[in-house]
Structures are given as structure tokens and as C-alpha cells.
């Protein structure tokens, strides 16, 4: 099974697309963690409890590709606004989207993403100015002189429109061939303007907006290989000759045939050592469960280990809107439930989820108090284990911290319209609204340090398939 990585910049060609969507969606995982018996309250957005907040803890951003036509979907917008602090328009800034007709610019879809991002204080990565794909036919048909004029005009008009609003631009995208040649990819720009089109694009870009970071972005350059060596040599040459370049984007589209390279971190580091920032720009990893989670975790750790790796962007929010949806490559399932991969990323970033609830203000910004304190602690991680039309089963796994515990308590808040029809391996007490159950052990209260148990429940969705909120775990 191969993902057609040589077409990563092209159409939806992954053979995974031909696979039937799994009937049972594996659901979300959220991790909550607090000390002993502290009564907790506070914001759901406590430091480190979301991807963006956790990444900000090390001065980085955590972004996602966004499609303008999904912004009106509440689950989409809520997840975007809650979890991410950077966006990349997935298609809306591409040449065919903004200048389908020569010198007639349409920024409306891109503008809707940029203004949404600005209203939420999110960074925006501009994607992309010069790319062989999603290029209108009028551009490909131009002769060299006219093409150069059109390229520089496109860069100038688009960057001027967004001047002051873009953190980093992918000035040139995917200009190198796959394979061992290390050659430039054939494209209208390459074929008519030669190698120099890349530096010309960067020089024009710098002249328009000197504040935006200017990136070269590509795929299959994530490890040390002939293609990444070619990009490396170009960047080295640019730095030596003073051609403006500030960053290199590593798209990081992975699956079993294109796995996370073992030298991923080393590759990021060697580029950083040239004096540019590096960014993970289009991360998605096909798979599911713990294997997918581990891969995601390794990517995040690699970025964190490289000082000049300034941020990470995943290529979409829920699996269903991924360019290769059948490979379920993202952090959220189709109902915006947090997958195991989400929890792995959050943990790798140094955060811990409040599950929509709270984080102990005494724990130092959401770091896991279960380690190193010797006090009784526990964490609670939610997973939807089974879904069907009309409902789902949820499971909460309780894990003791660094000390043995003899009891635990977790609150589960149902969403609007939801009811439970059964709870197992836990004892429930409901509040007066009938929406919040406090679950304590039935037989499974005593856990050795680091040991786990779980309880489960069935939810009748009544039209609301959102994951219930699992609040803090309190140990005794």
C-alpha cells in the first residue's frame, strides 16, 4: 500500500481513499490530572490544557489547516478556537483561488480565515505564493518574460493585501523532484525561468513585506535524503549569498509507506544550523490508536528538541475533512472527539487536558502533579470505545500517579440532550440537573502507583454525539 507521495502536492490520490470508512469511529481521549483532594475551579483554557496553550509554554505555536467553508460548523469552529493558536488556509490563498483570472484578485475566502484568526489572536501562515499545482492555466500558458511579470505581480498583490497579518509565507512550494536526482521539479516557473525563479520570488517577497517570515516548503524532505539534501544546499547557498530566506517548512505527511524518518530531528536540526527557522507545516499521520499516537508524539518531541523549530501545523481538524480522510490521519475524529493521537501530542507538548473542565491552579500551569510530588494523584482519560447511530459507549481510564491510592472520583458532564442508559465498574451520584454524574469506585478504588482501572457508560446521543466532558480526577 503506497501513498502516492510524489503527488502530495496534487490531487487526492491516496489509495487509502478507496477503503471503506470504518463503521465504528474510535473516539476521543482527554486527560485530566490534579493533586489529591483539592477542589478545583477555573477556566477550561487553563495554561497547557489545549494544544495551542501547551505549545505556547515553549514559545511555539500549534496550528491547523483551515477551510473557509467549514468555519460555519460549530464543532469545527469551537475546536479550532479552543485548541489552536495558528492557522494555514488549506486552499484559499493558492493562486487559482485568489487570481483565477489575470490581475483580478478574489480574497474573500482567504479573508474570512484571516479575520477569524485575527479575532482569536491566532498566527496565520500564508500558503502559498508560487507553486506548480492549483495554478490557473493562464499562468502556465505565458512565455518567460510575461510569466516573470505575472509571478512577481502575484506575490506583490497577495502579500500587499495581507501585509502585517501573516506570520510566515510559504513563498515557494514543492520546487524539487522526488527521488535521487536532487533536481528541480519541472514546472512552468522552472522550465521557463530556470533555477533563478526561486530566489527571485524570495527577493520580491522580501521587498513587499519585510516583517513576514519567508519560507520554502516541501514534502518528502522530512528526513535526510537526496531531495532534502538538494533543498539544504539551496538554503545554504541562499544564506551565503544573502538571498532572503527565514524558514523551511517540512510538510510531514506520513503513513506506513512514508513513516516518520528516524533522522527527522537531525534533519530539522541541520537546517536550523544554517540559520533558518524550521516549521512542521502540514502534519498528518495515517493510522489509528497507539501506533498513530506514538508517531505524533515523536514528531512533536523532535520539534521541541530543535530550538529553531518554531511551531507545528496539522493539516486539518477532524479526520472527515482531511485530504486523505480514509487514512484517519488527524487528531480529532469525525465528531471532534479527541483521539489517542491528540492526547499524545498534548502530553508531548507538556500539557495536560482539562477535558473541558479545569486544571489545578496549584500545579504550575497544567503540568502533571502526579509525578515527583509523592502525594496521591490520579489522571482520567476519556475514550469513546464504540459509536452507533443514536449513541456511543464511553470509557474513562483512571491511572494513579506516583503514589498508591485507595479511592478516586471523576465528574462526567453529559451534553445537551444526552442521557446515560448504563454505567459499569463505577458508582454514580447525580447532581440535581441530572446532567452531571460523580463516579466513584464500585470495587476498583485501590490502585498501586501507576496502575489503572476504568469505568464505562452508554450514552443515548439524542442528536448530540459530542464527547461528554470528563472533569478532574480526585484521588484519596
Burial class (CB in 10 A: 0-12, 13-18, 19+), 27: buried
Nearest distance from C-beta of residue 251 to ligand G3I, angstroms? 5
**Which parts of 207-236 interact with ligand G3I (CB under 6 A)?**
219
For ligand G3I, which residue of 1, 11, 102, 476 counts as binding (CB under 6 A)? 11
Nearer to ligand G3I, 131 or 232 (CB): 131
Nearer to ligand G3I, 90 or 360 (CB): 90
- The set of residues, in sequence order, having a beta carbon less than 8 Å from that of 339 and lying 6+ positions away, is 26, 27, 28, 29, 288, 292, 293, 330, 331, 332, 333
Nearest distance from C-beta of residue 215 to ligand G3I, angstroms? 12
Taking contact as CB under 6 A, which single stretch among the options 7-15, 330-338, 385-393, 419-427 is the one that binds ligand G3I? 7-15
Nearest distance from C-beta of residue 416 to ligand G3I, angstroms? 31
Burial class (CB in 10 A: 0-12, 13-18, 19+), 331: buried
Question: Does 174 qualify as catalytic in the annotation?
Answer: yes
Integer Cα distance of 238 and 202 in angstroms: 10
**Which parts of 125-164 interact with ligand G3I (CB under 6 A)?**
133-134
Nearest distance from C-beta of residue 114 to ligand G3I, angstroms? 17
User: Peptide bond preceding 391: is omega within 30 degrees of 0, i.e. cis?
Assistant: no
Q: Which residue lies nearest ligand G3I, judged by its C-beta? A: 323
Integer Cα distance of 33 and 424 in angstroms: 22
**By rule CB under 6 A, what count of residues binds ligand G3I?**
12
438 touching ligand G3I, by CB under 6 A = no
Taking contact as CB under 6 A, which single stretch among the options 8-16, 140-148, 187-195, 428-436 is the one that binds ligand G3I? 8-16
Nearest distance from C-beta of residue 155 to ligand G3I, angstroms? 17
Site string for ligand G3I, 93-132 (x = CB under 6 A): ----------------------------------------
435: left (phi over 0), alpha (psi -120 to 50) or beta: alpha
Q: Residue 332 in contact with residue 318, Cβ under 8 Å? A: yes
Nearest distance from C-beta of residue 58 to ligand G3I, angstroms? 26
| Cell numbers linked to 99 | 487570481
Helix (H, G, I), strand (E, B) or coil at 388: strand
Nearest distance from C-beta of residue 14 to ligand G3I, angstroms? 9
90 touching ligand G3I, by CB under 6 A = yes
Selecting among 83, 90, 174, 200, the annotated active-site residue is 174
164: left (phi over 0), alpha (psi -120 to 50) or beta: left
Q: Residue 229 in contact with residue 199, Cβ under 8 Å? A: no
Nearest distance from C-beta of residue 134 to ligand G3I, angstroms? 5
Torsions phi, psi for 115 (to 5 deg): -70, -35
For ligand G3I, which residue of 251, 377, 395, 418 counts as binding (CB under 6 A)? 251
Nearest distance from C-beta of residue 107 to ligand G3I, angstroms? 16
Selecting among 90, 92, 282, 286, the annotated active-site residue is 282
E-strand stretches of 67-181: 86-89, 123-131, 168-173
| Cell numbers linked to 469 | 466532558
Distance between terminal CA atoms of the chain? 50
4 touching ligand G3I, by CB under 6 A = no
10 touching ligand G3I, by CB under 6 A = yes
For ligand G3I, which residue of 3, 5, 9, 356 counts as binding (CB under 6 A)? 9
For ligand G3I, which residue of 323, 392, 408, 455 counts as binding (CB under 6 A)? 323
Integer Cα distance of 248 and 227 in angstroms: 13
Integer Cα distance of 476 and 474 in angstroms: 7
**Which parts of 333-362 interact with ligand G3I (CB under 6 A)?**
none
91 touching ligand G3I, by CB under 6 A = yes
Integer Cα distance of 386 and 28 in angstroms: 11
**Which parts of 278-307 interact with ligand G3I (CB under 6 A)?**
282
Compute how many other C-beta atoms are within 10 angstroms of the C-beta atom of residue 164: 7
202 touching ligand G3I, by CB under 6 A = no
Nearer to ligand G3I, 94 or 270 (CB): 94
Taking contact as CB under 6 A, which single stretch among the options 6-14, 44-52, 144-152, 384-392 is the one that binds ligand G3I? 6-14
Give one DSSP letter per residue of 110-135, joined into a string. HHHHHHHHHHTT-EEEEEEEEESSS-
Nearer to ligand G3I, 129 or 309 (CB): 129
- 35: which strand partners? 377
Give the position of cell 518531541: 301
The catalytic residues are 174, 282
Binding site for ligand G3I (CB under 6 A): 8-11, 90-91, 133-134, 219, 251, 282, 323
Amino acid at each position: 500500500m503506497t501513498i502516492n507521495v510524489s503527488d502530495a502536492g496534487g490531487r487526492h490520490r491516496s489509495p487509502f481513499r478507496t477503503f471503506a470508512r470504518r463503521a465504528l469511529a474510535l473516539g476521543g481521549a482527554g486527560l485530566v490530572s490534579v493533586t489529591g483532594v483539592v477542589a478545583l475551579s477555573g477556566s477550561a483554557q487553563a495554561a497547557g490544557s489545549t494544544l495551542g496553550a501547551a505549545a505556547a509554554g515553549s514559545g511555539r505555536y500549534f496550528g491547523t489547516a483551515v477551510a473557509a467553508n467549514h468555519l460555519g460548523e460549530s464543532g469545527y469552529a469551537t475546536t479550532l478556537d479552543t485548541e489552536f493558536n495558528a492557522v494555514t488556509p488549506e486552499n484559499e490563498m493558492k493562486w487559482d483561488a485568489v487570481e483565477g483570472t489575470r490581475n483580478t484578485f478574489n480574497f474573500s475566502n482567504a479573508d474570512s480565515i484571516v479575520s477569524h484568526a485575527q479575532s482569536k489572536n491566532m498566527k496565520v501562515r500564508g500558503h502559498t505564493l508560487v507553486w506548480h499545482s492549483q495554478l490557473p492555466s493562464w499562468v502556465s500558458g505565458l512565455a518567460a518574460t510575461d510569466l516573470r511579470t505575472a509571478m512577481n505581480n502575484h506575490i506583490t498583490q497577495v502579500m500587499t493585501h495581507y501585509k502585517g497579518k501573516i506570520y510566515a509565507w510559504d513563498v515557494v512550494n514543492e520546487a524539487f523532484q522526488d527521488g535521487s536526482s536532487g533536481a528541480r521539479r519541472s514546472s512552468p516557473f522552472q522550465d521557463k525561468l530556470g533555477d533563478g525563479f526561486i530566489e527571485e520570488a524570495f527577493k520580491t517577497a522580501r521587498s513587499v513585506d519585510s516583517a513576514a517570515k519567508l519560507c520554502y516548503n516541501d514534502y518528502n524532505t522530512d528526513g535526510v535524503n537526496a531531495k532534502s539534501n538538494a533543498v539544504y544546499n539551496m538554503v545554504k547557498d541562499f544564506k551565503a549569498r544573502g538571498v532572503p530566506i527565514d524558514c523551511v517548512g517540512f510538510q510531514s505527511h506520513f503513513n506506513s509507506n512514508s513513516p516518520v524518518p528516524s533522522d527527522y530531528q537531525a534533519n530539522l536540526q541541520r537546517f536550523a544550523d544554517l540559520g533558518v527557522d524550521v516549521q512542521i507545516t502540514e502534519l498528518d499521520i495515517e493510522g489509528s490508536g497507539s501506533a498513530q499516537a506514538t508517531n505524533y508524539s515523536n514528531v512533536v518531541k523532535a520539534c521541541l528538541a530543535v530550538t529553531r523549530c518554531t511551531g507545528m501545523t496539522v493539516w486539518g481538524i477532524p479526520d472527515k475533512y482531511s485530504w486523505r480522510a480514509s487514512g484517519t490521519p488527524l487528531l480529532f475524529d469525525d465528531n471532534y472527539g479527541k483521539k489517542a493521537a491528540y492526547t499524545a501530542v498534548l502530553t508531548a507538548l507538556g500539557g495536560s487536558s482539562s477535558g473541558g473542565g479545569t486544571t489545578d491552579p496549584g500545579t504550575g500551569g497544567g503540568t502533571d502533579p502526579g509525578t515527583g510530588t509523592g502525594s496521591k494523584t490520579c489522571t482520567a482519560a476519556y475514550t469513546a470505545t464504540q459509536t452507533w447511530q443514536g449513541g456511543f459507549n464511553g470509557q474513562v481510564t483512571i491511572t494513579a500517579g506516583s503514589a498508591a491510592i485507595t479511592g478516586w472520583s471523576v465528574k462526567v458532564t453529559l451534553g445537551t440532550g444526552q442521557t446515560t442508559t448504563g454505567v459499569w465498574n463505577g458508582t454514580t451520584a447525580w447532581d440535581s440537573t441530572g446532567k452531571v454524574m460523580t463516579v466513584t469506585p464500585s470495587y476498583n478504588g485501590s490502585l498501586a502507583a501507576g496502575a489503572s482501572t476504568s469505568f464505562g457508560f452508554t450514552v443515548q446521543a439524542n442528536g448530540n454525539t459530542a464527547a461528554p466532558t470528563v472533569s478532574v480526577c480526585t484521588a484519596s
